[in-house]
Structure 1
Amino acid sequence: MARAENKVEAGGVARMVAAMSKAFRKQHGLTQEELGRLIGYTASAISAMETCAQPASDEMLIKLEEVIGGGLGLFEEARKYVLMDKYPPQFQNFALMEAQAVTLSSYQTYVVDGLFQTEGYARALIGGGFPRLPGAKVAELVEARMARKALFDRNPTAMIELILDESVLRRPFTDWEVQREQLRSLAQEAERDNVSIQVTPLERGLQGSHAGTNGNMVLVETKEHHHVVYLEIEDESLLISDATKASQLAHRYAKIRTQALSPDDSLSLIQKLAGEDQQ
């Protein structure tokens, strides 16, 4: 839903897309209603986009490229930058790096990594947080989070590893069916050749050592083969690129991996909790 405050909050990318769309529309001699009809939107939706009351969706950008893009590819190029604008500020610096990663290794202790979240699970998390967000903003953030899944099928392939504390698998949001759907999705993703999922058992601490007690981290090998670590807590984030610090965290991550269940045993546990073993 378009909101008046969006006109004030809109970023530079949304404003550029709005101006570009309006200019191209007029160049083609189209009214807002005519353009809307050609791309499957109402005139009010085109107006909302051009005034930044409701920034262009990814689907709208694809249609604009097809109808008024003129083969220049500008709307297509704008897609990734519009997507960046939709992410929370603390995540924006990391988002493009994640999309271009050679390898991605994530350790999560409270919720499923956003890259692996189902739409229902993501909506439950984003919509159920505090302070509460307007429904339109929740939908925008969920759409942006789902777009990250393109990394799974990107060419060239990225190698993706996820280690979850077992408590994540047992912590439901909204209702148990949302959680079961999320677990089933994890089981499916674990079958990919470029994906590895492991689980750190709840009783790990009884062994006298638990390398993951300091919390979440995401390790990235960039397309330039640099190694960075992304940390986020309470809507604040930190990108660590210092080689020594990144190496220390990579060593800790490697220890967490050795203390987790094997990929096969982890998959069996996920399937069991999802109820797959009862089918």
Structure 2
Amino acid sequence: MNEPTDGADEAAGPREEPESEPEASSGILRVFGRQLKLFRLRAGLQRPEFGAQVGYSVSTISSFEQGRRVPPPQFIDQADELLDAGGILKEMKEEVARAQYPAFFRDAAKLEAHAVELHVYDTHLVNGLLQTEEYARAVFTMRRPLLSDETIEQRVAARLARQKIFARTPMPTISFVIEESVLTRPLGGQSVMRGQLEQLLVYGHRRNVEIQIMPNNREEHAGLAGPFTLIETQEARRCAYVEAYNYSRLYSDRGAVRELEEQYGLLRAQALTPRESLALVEELLGGA
């Protein structure tokens, strides 16, 4: 069997997946790629043949097999069934999906996906779990150093995929405290911000979600050290994720987590109530 070289670019299907930056090329992608290639060869399929059946080009299949691109979940499901992989490829789907995230966020993403409780304090922008596609794209477009167009689209898709947590059963308990200044900063333009405010109202009316706004005129404020996220896992483990410029940390030490829990409790007491907060969002929408 004559196997095309990894640099081959023979047209086989309509879909081209965006190239990942080196940051996304983690070990799990290389492992998945090797397994994908082994199953494809075992099935007696060359890349053009396989690509035609799953709807991807030869160059994209090559990139998947080399661990240079993050394969989407639907491709993994297709490949597992078509190549009779017995669920081995599907078993890696969750780990592969996390490779879409920046390296510093992957551990937190894993905990977030299975959390029973999430409590988030935001100071500069709307949290990724609440972002619209347009708002998320604006955020990544403004990132410096500049991200490539392909990486921006990959990050947007990964951010939207995180929002599956809202549809999970049983429903997790999720709360947000957001600085009022975040809602008056029209990232991406007025129309993008209007859509984002509308989305806040949609999520804010969910039974398992509470959104509270911290007014600009508060004279007391417990969160001046910056944003953070509190996470409780299914095993009753409590963690805190703190992200800053070029640095992030996941805390599991009970003392450190307790300090942030105390801050969050005070923040919720100092902020507007959920009902008052949604009223403020509606007011902002009226002026948008």
TM-score (norm 1): 0.91
State the distance in 2 between where 1:105 and 1:111 align. Answer: 16
**Which residue of structure 1 aligns with residue 101 of structure 2?**
87
- In the alignment, the residues of structure 2 paired with residue 160 and residue 73 of structure 1 have an alpha-carbon distance, to the nearest angstrom, of 32
CA distance in 1 between partners of 2:223 and 2:276 (Å):
19
Distance 1:5 1:198 in 2: 36
- Structure 1 residue 5: Cα displacement: 7.1
Counting only pairs closer than 5 Å after superposition, residues 1-279 of structure 1 correspond to structure 2 as 6=22, 10-70=25-85, 72-205=86-219, 209-275=220-286
Whole-Å separation in 1 of the counterparts to 2:195 and 2:90: 32
- 1:5/1:173 CA distance change after superposition, 3 Å: closer
Distance (whole Å) between structure 1 residues aligned to residue 182 and residue 102 of structure 2: 22
Distance across 2 between alignment mates of 1:231 and 1:53: 29
Instruction: Report the secondary structure of 1:199's partner residue.
Output: strand
Q: Secondary structure at the match of 2:143?
A: coil
Structure 2: distance between partners of 1:5 and 1:119: 21
* Alpha-carbon displacement from aligned partner over 1:76-106 (angstroms, at most 9, x marks no partner): 2222111222211211121101111110000
Pair 225,232 (structure 1): closer, same or farther in 2 beyond 3 Å:
same
What count of residue pairs does the alignment treat as equivalent?
Answer: 272
Partner of 2:11: none
State the Cα RMSD in Å.
2.0
Asked if 2 retains the 8 angstrom alpha-carbon contact of 1:2 and 1:53, the reply is: no
SS at match of 1:203: coil
Partner amino acid for 1:89? A
Q: CA distance change for structure 1 residues 193 and 3 in 2, over 3 Å: closer, same or farther?
A: closer
Displacement of 1:58: 2.8
- Greater Cα offset, 48-57 or 181-190: 48-57
CA contact (8 A) 2:29 2:96 kept: yes
Deviation at 1:246, TM superposition (A): 1.3
The 2-side partners of 1:117 and 1:5 are apart by 23
Aligned to 2:3: none
User: Is the 8 Å Cα contact of residues 197 and 266 (structure 1) preserved in structure 2?
Assistant: yes
State which drifts further: 251-260 or 74-83: 74-83
- Whole-angstrom CA distance in 1 between matches of 2:154 and 2:37: 22
4+ residue segments displaced more than 3 Å: 1-6
Cα distance, 1:228–1:14 mapped onto 2, change above 3 Å: same
The superposition leaves residues 235-279 of structure 1 with CA deviations (integer Å, 9 ceiling, x where unpaired) of 21112222122112211110100111111111111122233x99x
Distance 1:194 1:212, change over 3 A: same
Structure 2 stretches lacking a partner, 5+ long: 1-16
Q: What CA distance in whole angstroms lies between the structure 1 residues aligned with 2:20 and 2:282? A: 46
CA shift for structure 1 position 2? 5.8
SS in 1 for 2:74: helix
TM-score (norm 2): 0.88
CA separation in 2, counterparts of 1:109 and 1:273?
Answer: 18
The letter for the 2-side match of 1:178 is V
